[in-house]
Chains A and B, each alone.
Chain A
Amino acid sequence: MRPPARPSFKARLRAFFRPPRTLSVTKTGRTYLVVTFGVGLGALNTGNNLLYLLLGLLLSMVVVSGVLSERCLRDLTVRRVGADAAFAREPFAYRWAVSRKTGHGFALTFSEDLSPLTGTGKLGHLPAGREHIVRADLAAPHRGPLRLSGVRVTTTWPLGLFAKTRVFPLDGMLLVYPRRGYACNEPGPAERGPRGEAGSPRHLDGTGDVAGLRELGVNEDARRVHWLKSAAAGRLLKVEREREERRVWKLALESGLTGDALERRCEELAAQAHQLLDGGNEVGLQLPERALRPSAGASQERRILQALAWVGFEDADVGAEREAA
């Protein structure tokens, strides 16, 4: 039996002080308010009725702005579609689905509330009765799981004087993979061993059956050039043969790494894994607290990236599970 879940004191304090709508004045709005104040002073000073009329119109427009923006944010339903893959420090595609039952929404800007994700998604017009997918290019500053508490929807409709924001509470989590960079070090020797009688067309650069011909790349072994075909084609062609033995790399993350060293190592491991898996090899990963068995393919790369993304955040995982419970 577990005790009932309860948000932290900080979260409760933040929720207590957060108003249901936040309103900020835009640059245009600041100028507008200054002019309105000046017109008000002029009206009071001169008693000029036309200035009173103008002041009334300016103040009414402020009220209209508030009412229309409120109508714009009311009756909205937002759900998070999320991202296919989010890598640290580079833009990734992110989506929200938004709909409303009645009325229209204009100039809506979407972002994740209280998260380090940067970037916004924009929607010009949201008619009633249809769900729209809002796309955004977001960026995360670092690797790891990001707790998402809600979606901020902001509108400057109708006059761009004020930006009214409503936060839709929506718990979630976004796992940010390590940054995609370059691997400076070699992954080390592969574990070799027979693969069996059958070759695999996905395992190339071996000595088995001919799998095909392709142009010789830069710094590639010239002994693999098929001279006859190259002479016919007029350019250097390389013979690709199936590899009958398997090459397995077991990448390892050293224990005891923290901070920037851990980040760099995770990025390097991710890059090495990507290169090796792209070459048709099998890659496994040894982490201080867990291990991934060697395997090949895109799904293995996803598993490796997920494992690397969680390194150093295991406590957060447990905490999240606890809070979820």
Chain B
Amino acid sequence: MRHPLRLRLLLRDLAAGSAFGAMAVSGQLPLWALGVFFTALVLALFNVRLVARHSRLSALGLLVAAVLLGLQLTSGAMNAVVAACSFAGLIAAQRMLSTPDAAAEGQTHLTGLLMVAGGAALSGDMTYALCLIAFGVLASLALALGVVEAAVPDGEPVPVRAVMRPLSAGLAFAVTGAVAFFVLFPRLNWAMVGPRSAPGLGAVSSAGYSNTVRLGGAGTIKGNPRVVLRALLTPDPGTDALDAYWVGRTYDTFDGLEWSNVVGAQQTERQITLRPASDTLLHQRIELLPAYGARTLIALETPSRLGNAMAHTPTGTRTSPVQLQGGGEVRFTVTAPSYTYEAYSLPPDARAGLSSALLEAEKDQLLALPTRLDPRLAQLAARVLQGEKEPLAAARRLASFLQRDYAYTLDQEGTSADPLSDFLFVRKAGHCEHFATALTLMLRTQGIGARLATGFFGGTRVDGGYLVRAGDAHAWTHVLVPGRGFVTVDATPPSHRSSQGPVLLEKLLAIYEAVEARWRNSVVDYSFRDQFELASALVRPPRPPPGARESAAPSRLPPPRAWATAAVIAFLVWRVGRLASRWTGRAPVLEATRFLDRVDAALQKAHVPRFEHETLEDLTTRLAREGHPLALALTPLTRRYLEARFGGRALREGEAEHLLATLRRALDAEAERRAAKPASQTSPTARAS
């Protein structure tokens, strides 16, 4: 039995790995599926065909996996697309570990194709594109090598290098064609069934924006460098690093373990107004990226108005109304991987005042304490404050105390029944939620109203806007100051408020995020409108330069790019016409040949056939030399045949019939002449007799 080419198997397995990666980047596949596939991939790359002798057993295992996935699907624990993609991955794994025969090859490539399609439904990430290209290249190489290998006789080497060159050119052509198709094909959307899209790998997964916040539960996101928010600020602060709080929501009730709110959803509008506007509002144009993974709108402190939201779903962009929740949270009503919206915030030094939407129930909760609060908390607060009753001064004194005597750490080993006491009196180290909760509760024990606020801190300037990362997620305290409303006081040490990720990684990711932003704008969000604008931009007359005189009449001629496009299209049409004429070029030749056949038939019928190897031209020449009467009729007919057959001048419609009719008349005349000749010869003979 012939051994398959090792390189081809490697390419096939890597192609399957790329296809699986196209799904895996969505972050939706279950961990066990990831584990099974990547284990199978590693084994296959090392040429360990684990189930080659146990194909039936492994098929049984696939059946069991299908049943389990089906159960998860019916119970609602898993999305149908995710279940299908997971199963495709398992099939690919089983095929990779099987005997590498033709059937296994085809099925591996097929599952790869299905996985790539599934990945398109699951992920909008740019890494999907990389996986797609990798799959296209690797699978094509594997297929091409397989085709050549099947035709190479046993014992002879497979010409790998010779295969690569023409195939590379073909792949480049295919990628170009795919881009052209993508740009030019009219974007249609029947929208009969729309799958849910995913935020992708590294998503913050709500970053604490669930209905409750469990103390210590979200500490690990501090090192996540993924960009979750991109904002354009007006007026532009102009600083490289923004020293600002981006608030998402606040919490007023603490039960000793979790923060929650007493008030639920209130109203749904296109735009929610939280506070009265002022003349100096800070406008924000915010884009929430898929890595954000939640539906809470974020705005700079102190938000006044939020709304005009657009949800970017896989089925297109649409308007999303927003809903006011408890704790000043404003939430999108449409689930989508990414959003854009507008927000207006009061500047930090403005008098914010109490939110008009703050209910009495919420106000009462600002002093509420858990029933089993450690009494040492109040004692510690009183000892630190030493009689200070002014809310803001007291809050700042407590914050200074916490920053000075307590350490910042993301290490959250173990669980505690009373995490706050554990932080204050045992570990004396914690992250932003511990600091903010401690400050809030200590203020409440002293009769000062306060609440927990969550959101992001900071912002890095990129391309004139600001990026906020998942690691910038933060929690702080809102102190209720009479006459001023809520004032932000942050107990977390300043150096640990923003992202704690590695700087180099952040820089690299900033580049990646910039590329991905272009990808998202140019590819994922590409729409019929973009196509229309692209076509319009091609023919739109150029605008006058900024320095040009207004009196100068704008040019009505299309821009050079329109001429260039027209030239390219004309060239393509010309080329297609050439090809078509070459393709249809057989028709005139066939027509001339058929004409010759009919001439031959007519001549044969009249007993004037051509000799063997005698062309029509030779026949005409011979008849002319012999002084045959038919030569006169045949000469123009022969010339016309030669023109049609070899001269590129096809016979016109009905011309062949006309020429043949002429020939037939000449033949009839010749026949009559021959018939008349013996009769005329008979008479003299008769007279002689």
Q: Which chain A residues have a beta carbon within 8 Å of chain B's beta carbons?
A: 1-4, 6, 16, 20, 27-28, 31-32, 35, 38-39, 42, 44-57, 59-61, 63-64, 67-68, 71, 104, 106-109, 122-125, 127, 156-160, 325
Contact = CB atoms under 8 A, between A and B. Distances in A.
Interface of B: 106, 109-110, 113-114, 116-117, 119-121, 123-124, 128-129, 132, 136, 140, 143-144, 146-153, 156, 158-159, 162-163, 166-167, 170-171, 173-182, 185, 187-195, 314-316, 523-526, 586, 590, 597, 600, 604, 609-612, 614
B163 A106 contact: yes
Given A54-B117, A122-B153, A3 B181 contact: no
B529 to A, nearest CB: 12
A125 B119 CA distance: 36
A52 B110 contact: no
Contact of A159 (B147, B179, B612): B147
Contacts of B604: 3
A47 B151 contact: no
Given A3-B604, A54-B117, A158-B144, A68 B162 contact: no
A46 B193 contact: yes
Contacts of A27: 106
Nearest to B316: A47
A49 B182 contact: yes
B609 A35 contact: no
Nearest to A125: B159
A45 B192 contact: yes
A160 B121 contact: no
A159 B614 CA distance: 49
Nearest to B119: A50
B170 A48 contact: no
B612 A63 contact: no
Contacts of A107: 147-148, 150-151
Nearest to A34: B110
B609 A54 contact: no
Contacts of B158: 124
11 contacts: A1-B609, A35-B110, A47-B316, A49-B182, A63-B174, A63-B177, A68-B166, A124-B148, A158-B140, A159-B143, A160-B147
Contacts of A71: 166
A56 B177 contact: yes
Contacts of A16: 590
A68 B172 CA distance: 13
Q: Which of A35, A45, A67 has the largest number of chain B CB atoms within 10 A?
A: A45
A44 B152 CA distance: 42
Contacts of B192: 45
Contacts of A1: 609, 611-612
Given A42-B117, A47-B188, A53-B129, A106 B151 contact: yes
Main secondary structure on chain A at its contact with chain B?
A: helix
B153 A158 contact: no
Given A50-B120, A50-B524, A124-B151, A44 B140 contact: no
A46 B597 contact: no
Contacts of B128: 50
B190 A45 contact: yes
Contacts of A2: 612
Nearest to A57: B178
Contacts of A46: 121, 189, 191, 193-195, 314-315
Contact of A123 (B151, B195, B524): B151
Contacts of A125: 148, 152, 159, 162-163
Contacts of A157: 144, 147-148
A117 B441 CA distance: 94
Given A64-B173, A158-B147, A47 B314 contact: yes
Contacts of B525: 49
A53 B116 CA distance: 11
A228 B265 CA distance: 122
Nearest to A36: B113
Contact of A51 (B117, B175, B180, B597): B117
B173 A106 contact: no
A62 to B, nearest CB: 9
Nearest to A159: B143
Contact of B143 (A4, A122, A160): A160
B147 A156 contact: yes
A35 B106 CA distance: 13
Given A31-B110, A49-B525, A124-B158, 8 more contacts: A4-B614, A51-B121, A64-B173, A64-B174, A107-B151, A122-B152, A125-B152, A125-B162
A128 B116 CA distance: 38
Contacts of A50: 119-120, 123-124, 128-129, 132, 523-524
Contact of B182 (A52, A108, A156): A52
A39 B117 contact: yes
Given A61-B140, A159-B147, A20 B191 contact: no
Contacts of A44: 188-190
A159 B144 contact: yes
Given A42-B121, A47-B189, A67 B113 contact: no
B605 to A, nearest CB: 11
B524 A55 contact: no
Contacts of B116: 54
A38 B121 CA distance: 13
B171 A64 contact: yes
B610 to A, nearest CB: 5
Q: Which 9 A-B pairs have the closest CB atoms?
A: A47-B189, A60-B177, A124-B152, A56-B181, A56-B178, A50-B120, A57-B178, A60-B174, A125-B159
B113 to A, nearest CB: 5
A238 B448 CA distance: 129
Nearest to B150: A107
B612 A4 contact: yes
B162 A127 contact: yes
Given A35-B117, A127-B162, A158 B170 contact: yes
A245 B37 CA distance: 83
Contacts of A122: 150-153
A159 B153 contact: no
B193 A45 contact: yes
Given A54-B116, A68-B170, A104-B162, A48 B121 contact: yes
B175 A57 contact: yes
B136 to A, nearest CB: 6
Given A64-B177, A106-B151, A158-B167, A49 B106 contact: no
B557 to A, nearest CB: 33
A282 B600 CA distance: 53
Contact of A35 (B113, B119, B314): B113
A38 B120 CA distance: 13
A107 B523 CA distance: 37
Given A107-B148, A109-B151, A49 B159 contact: no
Nearest to B172: A64
B24 to A, nearest CB: 15
A157 B163 CA distance: 10
Nearest to A20: B586
Which of A27, A54, A67 has most chain B Cβ within 10 Å?
A54
B111 to A, nearest CB: 10
Nearest to A156: B147
B193 A124 contact: no
B170 A67 contact: yes
A163 to B, nearest CB: 10
Nearest to B163: A106
B151 A108 contact: yes
Most buried by A among B119, B124, B147, B167: B147
A30 to B, nearest CB: 11
Contacts of B187: 47, 49, 52
A67 to B, nearest CB: 7
A64 B143 CA distance: 14
A15 B176 CA distance: 38
- Which of B158, B167, B170, B610 gathers the greatest number of chain A CB atoms within 10 Å? B170
A54 B120 contact: yes
Contacts of A160: 143, 146-147
Q: Which of B117, B167, B173, B597 has the most CB of A within 10 A?
A: B117
